[in-house]
């Protein structure tokens, strides 16, 4: 058993004033019923770094059904990895029972389903719903900076794995052997790079070497998980730094070889810079950053360099996205976006074309793309004004009166 390091209130910056009041309420209700309950994971990390957490997750000794009995608006989600979601209006506080690694099955995918199509010797090891202690829960996590707990009863940070030291050193370090951890779940390599880029941290040398050694393992991860991570990277506000680090570690060549091939070319980095600037102007990822807009930020540099004049068909999308396993629906939305873009920069379109563009389902995404990447600010302002004014009226056509048919002359018999 490992004795944790206890960081008292005087030695860390976390204040309850910065914690979501509904998360505090959940913690208090659990403790009131004699359950251990801590704020856990990325929320603690972000509070220690002076950032505003996106989520406030809770770890507890209470089992999912016990949590459900305490909170009226609570739903149990997940089949293999069961979690309690406590709802407050549109907000969800995630409550997870402390878990431990199962020696026979290992540690594995941080709650994500393994890739069942992978070969048995490469399939990510499962984790069962085997409940454990706070210490066991800390050691099953991916990186030390994500394994810190905050106790509202003592105002202390609880550290079993040296996470506070790594936060001060601004270091991304695996819990356990990084070679084993990345083979267990290759997506952890992407997460390591993403944390380093977004937080401005360094990769621990053993972590960097393990990524270079096992970058090819990413091919054995579930395609849906890879695309989910790709969208997160593009929405992070640090896409340029992340993709540069993905490239330096060899991961980008495995994830998106067509994009990696553009490393020496300025348009790729200009596109990602503009995407980051747009996202960071909003403080967080706005709803306008749809998957099609994100993919367009990767695809258009490829199209501009490889295809002249740029086509706007399915082949264009396939060439631009290369080996990325993009969902069919997202690829189709991207194709429609590419078709729409030239129409927005057309000077003085006729009223019929304006009505058609405003009614097109891809128009909002194309307008967002133009705001992010467009080199024609006049076109953006023109379409914004047109959107406010609404579609131009149809020209009134004067109806012609139907011509009266002349009755044929009748002849009379004489």
CB atoms within 10 A of CB 183: 18
How many angstroms separate the Cα of 361 from the Cα of each of 358, 364, 367? 8, 7, 11
- What is the C-alpha separation between 132 and 59, in angstroms, rounded? 11
Among 110, 97, 119, 232, smallest CA distance to 181 is for: 110
Q: Which of 46, 115, 137, 142 is catalytic?
A: 142
Beta bridge partners of 246: none
User: Catalytic site residue 137?
Assistant: no
User: Catalytic site residue 46?
Assistant: no
Q: Position of tokens 């097109």?
A: 360
Q: Which of 57, 185, 204, 330 is catalytic?
A: 57
Q: Which of 55, 112, 128, 151 is catalytic?
A: 55
Q: SS3 of 204, please?
A: coil
- Quick check: 74 and 38 in contact, CB under 8 A? no
CB atoms within 10 A of CB 101: 19
Torsion of CA 220, 229, 79, 81, to 10 degrees: 90
On the 0-12 / 13-18 / 19+ scale of CB atoms within 10 A, 267 is middle
- What is the C-alpha separation between 374 and 372, in angstroms, rounded? 6
User: Catalytic site residue 57?
Assistant: yes
- What is the C-alpha separation between 200 and 27, in angstroms, rounded? 31
- What is the C-alpha separation between 99 and 81, in angstroms, rounded? 10
How many CA atoms are closer than 13 Å to the CA of 23, on its beta-carbon side?
25
Which stretch of DSSP H or E encloses residue 88? Answer: strand 83-88
Contacts of 257 (CB under 8 A, 6+ apart): 322, 323
What single DSSP character describes residue 268?
Answer: H
Helix 377-389 and helix 363-373: axis angle, to 10°? 150
Please report which residue ranges of 172-265 form alpha helices under DSSP H: 178-184, 187-199, 205-214, 223-235, 239-249, 251-255, 257-260
- What is the C-alpha separation between 43 and 53, in angstroms, rounded? 5
Catalytic residue numbers read 55, 57, 142
């Amino acid at each position: 058993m490992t004795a944790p390091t206890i960081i008292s209130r005087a030695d860390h910056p976390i204040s309850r004033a910065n914690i979501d009041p509904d998360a505090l309420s959940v913690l208090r209700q659990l403790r009131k019923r004699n359950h251990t309950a801590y704020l856990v994971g990325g929320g603690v990390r972000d509070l220690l770094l002076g950032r505003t957490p996106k989520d406030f997750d809770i770890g507890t000794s209470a089992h999912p059904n016990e949590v459900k009995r305490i909170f009226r608006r609570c739903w149990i989600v997940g089949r293999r990895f069961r979690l309690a979601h406590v709802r407050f209006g549109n907000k969800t506080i995630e409550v997870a029972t402390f878990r431990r690694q199962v020696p026979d099955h290992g540690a594995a995918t941080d709650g994500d389903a393994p890739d069942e199509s992978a070969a048995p010797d490469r399939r990510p090891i499962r984790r069962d719903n085997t409940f454990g202690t706070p210490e066991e829960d800390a050691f099953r996590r991916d990186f030390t900076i994500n394994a810190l707990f905050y106790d509202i009863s003592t105002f202390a940070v609880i550290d079993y794995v040296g996470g506070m030291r790594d936060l001060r050193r601004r270091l991304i370090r695996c819990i356990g052997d990084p070679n084993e951890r990345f083979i267990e779940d290759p997506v952890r390599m992407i997460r390591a790079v993403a944390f380093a880029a977004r937080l401005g941290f360094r990769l621990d040398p053993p972590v960097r070497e393990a990524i270079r050694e096992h970058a090819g393992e990413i091919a054995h991860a579930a395609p849906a998980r890879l695309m989910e991570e790709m969208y997160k990277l593009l929405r992070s506000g640090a896409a340029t730094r992340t993709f540069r680090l993905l490239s330096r570690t060899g991961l980008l060549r495995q994830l998106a070889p067509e994009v990696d091939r553009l490393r020496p070319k300025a348009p790729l980095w200009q596109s990602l810079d503009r995407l980051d600037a747009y996202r960071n102007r909003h403080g967080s990822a706005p709803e306008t950053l749809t998957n099609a807009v994100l993919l367009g930020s990767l695809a258009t540099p490829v199209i501009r360099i490889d295809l002249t004049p740029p086509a706007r068909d399915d082949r264009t999308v396939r060439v631009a996205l290369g080996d990325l396993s993009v969902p069919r629906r997202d690829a189709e939305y991207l194709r429609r976006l590419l078709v729409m873009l030239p129409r927005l920069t057309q000077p003085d379109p006729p009223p019929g074309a304006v009505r058609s563009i405003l009614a097109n389902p891809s128009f909002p995404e194309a307008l967002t793309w133009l705001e992010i990447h467009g080199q024609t600010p006049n076109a953006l302002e023109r379409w914004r004004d047109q959107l406010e004014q609404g579609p131009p009226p149809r020209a009134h056509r004067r109806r012609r009166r139907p011509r009266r048919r002349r009755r044929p002359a009748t002849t009379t018999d004489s």
